[in-house]
């Protein structure tokens, strides 16, 4: 039986357009909100067409010493140029980027996952220290 963790792909985001890039501080202040941005296609643009697009990005935070991560965000991107006239006929497109704020008292790892409707699941992570 296939295990879902084996379906997630990863690579260097500077060379692979599907990998979610996590922009967050290396060190955050204990108990203070800080911004996290996740983007797909930061260095190499990812298509945003009806037939090829990023459908969603999810973000999790796994505090050091805890068993499970916390889901901190899920963004769905629902407009990729489709209209009643057909594929890529609309002027409305969403960009595959999400920004949020959260706070924590513990250091840990931010995990981002994304889904391309053609190329599947992708992942990345970033460690955050607490001062």
Give the residue numbers annotated as catalytic, written as ranges: 16-18, 46, 52, 116, 119
Could you tell me the CA-to-CA distances from 92 to 32, 83, 87, 115, 124 in Å, in that order? 36, 9, 12, 20, 28
* Three-state secondary-structure class, residue 43: coil
Look at residues 54, 49, 51, 48 and name the one whose alpha carbon lies nearest to residue 18.
54
Taking the alpha carbons of 75, 123, 67, 23 in that order, is the dihedral positive or negative? Answer: negative
Tell me how crowded residue 57 is: count the other CB atoms within 10 A of its CB: 23
Report, in angstroms and rounded to the nearest whole number, the Rg of the chain calculated over CA atoms: 16
């Amino acid at each position: 039986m296939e295990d879902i963790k084996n379906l997630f792909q990863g690579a260097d985001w500077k060379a692979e357009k599907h990998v979610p890039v996590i922009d967050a501080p290396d060190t955050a202040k204990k108990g203070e909100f800080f911004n996290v941005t996740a983007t797909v296609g930061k260095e190499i643009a990812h298509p945003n067409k009806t037939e090829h697009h990023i459908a969603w990005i999810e973000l999790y935070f796994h505090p050091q010493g805890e068993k499970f991560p916390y889901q901190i965000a899920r963004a769905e991107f629902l407009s990729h140029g489709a209209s009643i006239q057909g594929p890529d006929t609309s002027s409305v497109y969403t960009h595959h980027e999400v920004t949020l704020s959260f706070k924590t008292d513990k250091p840990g790892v931010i995990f981002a996952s994304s889904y391309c409707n053609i190329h599947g699941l992708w992942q990345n992570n970033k460690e955050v220290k607490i001062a």
